[in-house]
Structure 1
Amino acid sequence: MNIPSAADGALDVLLGDYPHTRVLRDGTIPVEDVECRFLTASPLHSAFPRMVRGLEFDVCEMPVATYLLARDAGVPVTLLPAVLIGATHHHSLTRLPDGPDLDPRRLAGHRIGVRSYGQTTGMWVRGILREDYGVDASDVTWVTTEDAHVASYVNPPNVERSPTGAVAALLQAGDVDAAVLGPRAIGVQGIPLVPVIKDAEEAAAAWTERHGTVPANHLLVVRDDVLRSRPDAVTALFRALARGIDETAAERDLTTAAGRAVTAGWSDTLARGLEVAARYALEQGLVSAPVDLARIQKDMAFLEG
């Protein structure tokens, strides 16, 4: 892998646009003694394969499932303990309002659309289906519109690749019975969608209570070579982000799971969330071996100095 480097010493940082990242981008909260180039990508998910395939950025927002796949494939990145976005996902399994009234316990044999089998929202939904409704990932045909971000990942045999460009279009064409769409994606499809799980809010609340965490969607990673050569710069960036998360708390609805999900720093809540994500990833064939969570935590120890 050809690893790029910044000749001028600036950190190339790819973050989505949120209140807690905006204050870094506009300089309201400075990254002490570090020059950062805050980069953007549209859509945001287009940056993730660029990071795990070409290590294009020094620090990059990254979905949890992509990180776990990348780690399993040996991509040299280290996780930083900042949850940039998260949400519950019982409502992310959707159907057309005039489509069949599906029972989440009887989805075996059905076809479900998802952007890619390695998508984080899909990982959470498949875990929920197995844990709460007894439907294994292997019981369903997953119809995808994109490949996994990690190029070396090979989909399980019950995954089909569709030439259709959008997951919602699979629903409209009748090629799938349901579709996995993240919270932000549901509202921009141009068609009304309803959750397959009718009591989605209550079921999600029970899940978070049982696990003591909110599912994280996007965290942060740093290239290993950058961490080795510039640990102080990475620490300064992380601390600025942590301050941004703290000082923009009023802009999040902390009564919601999505509002509570945004955090910085290692915590029992983050540990529990990563533990569940790692278990789901192993059950679904996203990773080839159990994830060493103790090692992941140990790799973050430089932030404690």
Structure 2
Amino acid sequence: MTDLTLSIAMGNYDRTRAIVDGRVKIDGVDPVPMLLSPEEMFFRAFRHQAFDVSELSLSSYSISVARGDAHYVAVPVFLSRAFRHTSVYIRTDRGIERPEDLKGKKIGIAEYQLSANVWVRGILDEDFGIKPSDVTWVRGGMDTPGRPEKINVKLPSDVEVVAAPEGATLNGMLADGDIDGFIGPRWPRCFSEGHPHVGRLFTDSVDAAEDYYRRTQIFPIMHVLGIRRSIAEMHPWLPGALMKGFTQAKVLAQEALQDTSATKVTMPFVEDNLHRAQALMGSDPWTYGVGQNRHVLDRFLDYHHAQGLSPRRVQVDELFHPSTLEAYSL
């Protein structure tokens, strides 16, 4: 029997590396890996269905499910997760001392629908009373002028989203003080370069995230793995095979991280941070599967619908191929 040749677009992560280098075999699949940035993957996947299997934005995918036009069906492999208290950047010369001070401010965003932005808006609303309508959202490219939403969105009438001026970038506007802040998964270049008036809203983002986790038991999910729906219908064994293979690859990455004989990541304090995360979140902080993550997905889908991105409230089980909602045991 010949293996099924499939293009697989994903990020270059430790948790995907064993798929790329062949240490983990996906049953029945001859993979053609493509290691791409989220921006390129998502644009090509949602605009052109360019890949057989692709990492997908949870937010954009949820929009397509709610509208009934999803070209992909997801597997509960969460290739990107992050506490997004790191994602809110402010001008430090605008009197923004606490989240409540964002009211009435102009905040830059690359796309309104980004999963990171959904989480941040939800947290600002739920924990600090800042509603999306309390802010003017300025949409544009971070370092290149202009950036379209990968899927067109229709937002509530009380949410104001304006385009950045022609030729302007969000990084430049933040550096020059034309906007009061920025929210997004990537830090703005002016912050990384040490601009004297650009900082994070949550100055101790780790403490803020740990407090959030203790209260909610939520480790936010950003991305899922998607299979072109037509391929999944033709090969119903495939979603389970992908779930199995990507889970095995994650286990290998976690085992390497635990090996402290020589650090596998080019970063000091890896062992200390790993111990801190496991003390808070358990031995496997980065879980796959619906069961342990249903409450996380439910919270995201609540936010997503409340923010007007999904025209109806999507249910968790609608997101995933039925064969991945349960697993065998011995």
TM-score tier, shorter chain, comes to 0.7 to 0.9
Paired residue for 1:236, among 241, 264, 286?
241
CA apart distance, 1:228: 0.7
Q: 2:300 aligns with which of 262, 277, 281?
A: 277
Cα gap change, 1:40/1:202 in structure 2, threshold over 3 Å: closer, same or farther? closer
Specify the code of the residue in structure 2 equivalent to 1:148.
Answer: E
RMSD: 2.7
1:24/1:189 CA distance change after superposition, 3 Å: same
Structure 1 residues 58 and 303, CA gap change in structure 2 (3 angstroms): farther
Q: Return closer, same or farther for 1:52/1:297 CA change in 2, 3 Å cut-off.
A: closer
Work out the CA distance in 1 between the residues paired with 2:79 and 2:187.
14
Name the SS of the counterpart of 2:29 in structure 1: coil
SS in 1 for 2:19: helix
Superposed counterparts of 1:148-297, under 5 Å? 148-150=149-151, 152-156=152-156, 157-162=159-164, 163=166, 166-182=169-185, 189-192=192-195, 193-252=198-257, 254=274, 255-256=276-277, 262-268=286-292, 270-296=293-319
Sort the Cα spacing of 1:33 and 1:271 in 2 relative to 1 into closer, same or farther, 3 A: same
Scaled by the length of structure 2, what TM-score is found?
A: 0.80
- CA distance, structure 2, for counterparts of residue 115 and residue 191 of structure 1: 21
1:128 aligns with 2:123: yes
Q: Deviations over 1:15-38 (max 9, x none)?
A: 100011111101111223311111
Judge conservation of contact 2:62–2:319 (CA < 8 Å) in 1: no
**Native 8 Å contact 2:75 2:320 kept in 1:** no
- Counterpart in the other structure of 2:60: 66
* Cα deviation digits, residues 96-148 of structure 1 (max 9, x gap): 45554343113221111111101111111111110111010111111111332
Aligned partner of 1:58: which letter? D
Alignment counterpart, residue 140 of structure 1, candidates 89, 112, 135 = 135
What is the SS of the residue equivalent to 1:285?
Answer: coil
Range with greater deviation from structure 2 (153-162 or 127-136)? 153-162
Q: Which runs of 5 or more residues in structure 2 are unaligned? A: 141-146, 258-272
Q: CA deviation at 1:161?
A: 1.7
Pairs aligned (count) = 295
For residues 138-192 of structure 1, the C-alpha deviation after alignment (integer angstroms, 9 at most, x for no partner) is 1111111133221x32345501121456432221132210111326667984344
Larger Rg: 2
Native 8 Å contact 2:87 2:187 kept in 1: no
Moved more, 53-62 or 64-73: 64-73
**CA drift at 1:249:** 0.7
1:3 aligns with: none
The match for 1:4 is none
In structure 2, how many angstroms separate the alpha carbons of the residues matched to 1:240 and 1:187?
39
Residues 1:251 and 1:110: Cα distance change in structure 2 (over 3 Å):
farther
CA distance in 2, matches of 1:153, 1:159: 11
Letter in 2 for 1:182: P
State the distance in 2 between where 1:79 and 1:131 align.
28
Cα displacement (A) at 1:212: 1.5
1:242-298 CA-partner distances (Å, limit 9, x unpaired): 001111114555433899653322222x11111111011111111111112243357
2:232 aligned partner, one-letter code: L
Task: Report what 1:49 is aligned to.
Answer: 43
Instruction: Show the counterpart of 1:94.
Output: 89
Query: How far has the Cα of 1:223 moved from its partner?
Result: 1.4
Q: Distance in 2 between matches of 1:126 and 1:186?
A: 22
